[in-house]
């Protein structure tokens, strides 16, 4: 555990490490409590600004996706020009996109060693373990505590409760679990210690149980994508898990099977599909009306009633379009859509490239595998939901991206130094 208590040998190093430890506090509370997380984030920001003023020689580590990250942040900000509520939109932008970018570049700037990446990554896993344990406790006591929220008894009479833990709703919890399951599986594959292998396997099993108990259909489809991914980049025998679905449907007829079958069937009582279709049509109409800069970052909830009279009359607030691609397109226009998807899928492109060129099982390879799998799962679930609307989910994704970019940049620096050394000989 020595890597967790390093203090630095110089005043500059100690000041830099204080920023890293404040970031670790931010990471720990990201899925647990946003208010405490904001406190640590502000501390990290203040310490970082102080460091940059006193020790201005620290260089920003190169990232292949710095341009699309900055481009998306700029496009999202410019989209506020047409927002119906500029001040509210700006506040929401600061709370979301600006934080994501500051975290991303903060990691590129202040994290300088592999053990620091391990610290942030392990902190995220520890926090996720607490989220899972609390979710199981919550699920076990839901009926007695009268917390059976997010349940449509008319469409699914056998469904009495859905786990959401600290993530506010089951779909957001499922998105978070998919990212952490990708990380846990990658660490289990790449670890060199047997007891670590057992520990990550047990952790993965707990996360999988929690994912089932969210009853999130989109997340279950994303699991199929993860099975395909790990079969492709690790062991093709993983694909045998595709038999689990038919076996469940054949021998089990409870709430899980009923929910799973609803993916492939339509019920008039289940209004989620028709509501999503209305949102998607409205999002496309918004883009047609505002193709360049969009309606404004975070403005969907304000603009959607204009495109749907029933929602307007009912006074219901719909926060997003329940489709990641259409929501980004509607809110930020072509510019934000271009840079946003460049950044999002660019992470998978570079992570998969790293996996193909580095076969040795190391922590760096597990970072690449975690990121690629996370992009794949979010890309699938993003077709029927917009999990990245959540600050907690987006911060988790940008954290994973930043850790990989930091590692990738460090390797590029080493390769550049080795190339210069060889050329000088």
Q: Which of 295, 283, 391, 300 is nearest to 78 (CA)?
A: 295
Distance, CA of 335 to CA of 183 (rounded, Å): 31
Residue 96: band (very low, low, confident or very high) from pLDDT cuts 50, 70, 90: very high
Distance, CA of 292 to CA of 329 (rounded, Å): 9
Residue 412 in 3-state DSSP?
Answer: helix
Distance, CA of 68 to CA of 328 (rounded, Å): 14
Enumerate the domain spans of the chain. Answer: 7-58, 64-413
Residue 421: band (very low, low, confident or very high) from pLDDT cuts 50, 70, 90: low
Please give the pLDDT value at position 413.
78
The pLDDT of 411-418, averaged and rounded, is 77
Please give the pLDDT value at position 66.
93
The pLDDT of 88-104, averaged and rounded, is 95
Residue at token pair 């609307």: 389
Q: Which of 27, 21, 176, 175 is nearest to 99 (CA)?
A: 27
Residue 8 in 3-state DSSP?
Answer: coil
Residue at token pair 């690629």: 372
Residue 391: band (very low, low, confident or very high) from pLDDT cuts 50, 70, 90: very high
Distance, CA of 295 to CA of 277 (rounded, Å): 19
Residue 292 in 3-state DSSP?
Answer: coil
Please give the pLDDT value at position 160.
62
Residue at token pair 């850790």: 403
pLDDT, averaged across the chain: 86
Using CA atoms of 59, 103, 26, 77 in order, give the dihedral in degrees to the nearest 10: 150
Scored b (16 or more CB within 10 A) or e, 182-221 reads: bbbbbbbbbbeeeeeeeebeebbebbbebbbbbbbbbbbb
Distance, CA of 17 to CA of 8 (rounded, Å): 7
Q: Give the model confidence (pLDDT) of 118-132 as tens digits.
A: 999 999 999 999 999
Residue 423: band (very low, low, confident or very high) from pLDDT cuts 50, 70, 90: low
The pLDDT of 222-242, averaged and rounded, is 85
Please give the pLDDT value at position 157.
46
In the 3-class helix/strand/coil scheme, how is 176-195 assigned residue by residue? HHHHHHHHHHHHHHHCCCHH
**Cβ neighbours of 281 (radius 10 Å):** 14
Question: Are the beta carbons of 165 and 32 closer than 8 angstroms?
Answer: no
Q: Which helix (H) or strand (E) holds 32?
A: none
């Amino acid at each position: 555990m020595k890597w967790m208590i390093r203090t630095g040998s110089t005043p500059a190093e100690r000041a830099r490490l204080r920023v890293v430890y404040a970031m670790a506090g931010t990471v720990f509370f990201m899925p647990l409590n946003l208010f405490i997380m904001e406190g640590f984030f502000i501390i990290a920001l203040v310490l970082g600004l102080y460091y940059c003023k006193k020790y201005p020689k620290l260089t920003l580590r190169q990232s292949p996706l710095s341009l699309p990250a900055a481009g998306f942040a700029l496009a999202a900000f410019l989209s506020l020009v047409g927002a119906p509520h500029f001040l509210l939109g700006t506040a929401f932008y600061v709370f979301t996109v600006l934080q994501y970018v500051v975290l991303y570049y903060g990691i590129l700037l202040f994290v300088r060693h592999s053990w620091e990446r391990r610290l942030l990554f392990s902190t995220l896993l520890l926090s996720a373990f607490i989220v899972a344990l609390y979710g199981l406790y919550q699920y076990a006591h839901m009926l007695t505590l009268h917390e059976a929220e997010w349940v449509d008894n008319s469409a699914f009479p056998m469904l009495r409760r859905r786990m959401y833990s600290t993530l506010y709703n089951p779909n957001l919890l499922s998105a978070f679990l998919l990212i952490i399951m990708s990380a846990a599986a990658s660490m289990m594959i790449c670890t060199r210690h047997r007891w670590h292998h057992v520990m990550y396997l047990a952790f993965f099993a707990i996360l999988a149980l929690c994912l089932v108990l969210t009853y999130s259909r989109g997340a279950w489809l994303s699991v199929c994508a993860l099975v395909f991914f790990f079969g492709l980049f690790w062991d093709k025998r993983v694909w045998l898990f595709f038999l689990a679905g038919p076996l469940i449907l054949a021998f089990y007829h409870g709430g899980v099977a009923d929910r799973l079958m609803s993916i492939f069937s339509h019920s008039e009582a289940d209004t989620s599909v028709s509501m999503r279709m209305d949102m998607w049509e409205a999002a496309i109409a918004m883009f047609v009306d505002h193709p360049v800069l969009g309606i404004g970052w975070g403005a969907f909830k304000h603009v959607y009633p204009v495109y749907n009279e029933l929602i307007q009359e009912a006074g219901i607030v719909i926060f997003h379009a329940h489709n990641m691609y259409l929501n980004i397109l509607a809110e930020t226009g072509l510019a934000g859509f271009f840079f946003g998807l460049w950044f999002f899928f660019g992470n998978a492109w570079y992570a998969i490239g790293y996996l193909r060129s580095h076969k040795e099982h190391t922590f760096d390879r597990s970072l690449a595998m975690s990121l690629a799998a996370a992009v794949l799962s979010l890309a699938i679930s993003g077709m029927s939901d917009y999990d990245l609307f959540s600050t907690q989910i987006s911060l988790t994704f940008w954290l994973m991206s930043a850790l990989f970019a930091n590692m990738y940049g460090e390797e590029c620096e080493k390769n550049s130094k080795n190339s210069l050394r060889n050329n000088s000989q």
